[in-house]
Chain A
Amino acid sequence: MRVTFTVNGEQVSADDVWAGESLLYVLRERLGLPGSKNACEQGECGSCTVYLDGVTACSCMVAAGQAEGCEVRTVEGLADNRGEGDEKRLGTVQEAFVEMGAVQCGFCTPGLLVQTDDLISRTVGAGRGVPEDAEIREALAGNLCRCTGYEKIIDAVRVAAERESAKAGGAA
């Protein structure tokens, strides 16, 4: 079957999609977007996390046909066009992960970035201020990292949330 949906603002189509194929497979193998990682294929690890119509989901657990007509945003869509011309600049969450050393092998990073971006938009973005550690840990409970021990990841989330809060001029 043919599946048509929007990825990072652009309409895309994939042909000959098998009925049981996952959205993750279509993104990586048919649309050339390998940012979302394929690890467990059972929703355990969170490395394939994407936004599906504004809500985060493990793309390995979405049948590609279910994405028909939907809006998908992947880790590739977190960078924005703040640079000169077409130059993409890293988003706040991505910059914070780099600066705080929250990346080692990098395999879990795309999923953590998307899930963190969502946490910040649901907290700071909704005027609720910077999330407490308990809320950060709960939000990232479905993203496994085998390298870092999570401390630097949590540091990066805190830094990103604080910067977004400062940008919004909000009292955290």
Chain B
Amino acid sequence: MDFLRPSTLEEALAAKSAHPDAVPIMGGTDVMVELNFDKHRPGALIDLTRVPELARWGPDGDGVRLGAGVPYTRIIAELGEHAPALAQASRSVASPQIRNRGTVGGNLGGASPAGESHPVLLATDAEVELASVRGTRRVPAREFYLGLRRTARQDDELITAVLLPRPAGPQHFSKIGTRNAMVIAVANFSLALDADKRTVGTGLGSVAPTPIRAEEAEEFLAGEFDWDGGAVLDEAVVRRFGELVSSVARPIDDQRGSADYRRHAVGVMARRALSWSVTDYRKSLQDPRGDARCA
């Protein structure tokens, strides 16, 4: 097994092109588990921690371009305003030591259906930037997850960044597990309201072979939501939203939870995320310059 240490993005892309079966390693929090337990032995590891571009974030149009190698600890500290739901999700990842190392790029590379980033990227309509020696392309997160741990990334491509649109309304993330730390989600959920476009985004994790959206629930809520006044929603609307979210789940029974529990839990999380979002939305209407979503 080779250990490749590119120090520029160009070198990294050349290495991935020359060794398409090589596994990129950044925080190592997934890759090293596989190696320590000898579950998987790739032909080579490509250490990406020395590629400076990957560890940066900055403005991109209206939104933010987040380098694939920025660890969760920095997302929490630096991106709470630009990507509130992603910062919330980052806070729920594992433990401080893991958050110091783990990255959104790694989450996308592994593409576990339980990964914390995925529901947020789906709900907020983020894009994934993929690069290879052939060039760079941006794939909507909503088209990125193809099957169980299978994504739109080609073998010679590296995940270099995610593009996070500017928040145009409340965003929330919620996760269920047996304790607060060190938990692989039994189910997780993200909701994002876009007050400019008057659309709703959802993302569900750990309830299907891939992270998924609840499109019918999104359309239903976009139609029922009081975008002008932010009126508190009828209980029947909230209940229906939860039911529509639950209805797209295709969970399995496993050691972390039963399929029935997951289907139920994701509906409960959807209703809660909705009530938090209505509260945020009403606050932002009362004090638009205070901008509750940046609090």
Chain A residues at the B interface, C-beta cutoff of 8 Å:
1, 18-20, 22, 41-44, 46, 49, 55-58, 60-63, 65-66, 68, 115, 138-139, 141-143
Contact = CB atoms under 8 A, between A and B. Distances in A.
Nearest to B101: A57
A46 B94 CA distance: 11
B204 interface: no
B2 interface: yes
B240 interface: no
B29 interface: yes
B101 A141 contact: no
B47 A65 contact: yes
A63 B96 contact: no
B101 A61 contact: yes
20 contacts: A19-B2, A19-B44, A20-B35, A20-B45, A41-B33, A46-B95, A46-B97, A56-B97, A56-B100, A58-B101, A60-B32, A61-B27, A63-B32, A65-B47, A66-B47, A68-B5, A115-B96, A142-B95, A142-B98, A142-B182
Contact of B45 (A19, A49, A57, A142): A19
Contact of B97 (A19, A68, A138, A142): A142
Contacts of B94: 43, 142
B236 interface: no
Interface of B: 1-3, 5, 25, 27-29, 31-33, 35-37, 41, 44-45, 47, 49, 73, 94-98, 100-101, 180-182
Given A61-B28, A63-B28, A65-B45, A43 B181 contact: no
A42 B27 contact: no
Contacts of B5: 65, 68
Contacts of B47: 63, 65-66
B32 A61 contact: yes
A41 B37 contact: yes
Nearest to B40: A20
A43 B182 CA distance: 9
Contacts of A57: 97, 100-101
Contacts of A61: 27-29, 32-33, 98, 101
A65 B33 CA distance: 16
A130 to B, nearest CB: 18
Given A22-B32, A142-B96, 16 more contacts: A18-B1, A19-B2, A19-B44, A20-B41, A20-B45, A41-B37, A43-B29, A43-B33, A46-B95, A49-B97, A61-B28, A65-B5, A68-B5, A142-B94, A142-B181, A142-B182
Contacts of A141: 95-96, 180-182
B36 A41 contact: yes
A115 B1 contact: no
A82 to B, nearest CB: 28
B52 to A, nearest CB: 14
B110 to A, nearest CB: 13
A42 B96 contact: no
Which 8 A-B pairs give the minimum distances between C-beta atoms?
A: A142-B95, A141-B181, A19-B3, A41-B36, A20-B35, A19-B1, A61-B32, A65-B3
Contacts of A19: 1-3, 44-45
Nearest to A50: B97
Contacts of B41: 20
Nearest to B35: A20
Of A19, A65, A115, most buried by chain B (CB within 10 Å of CB) is A19
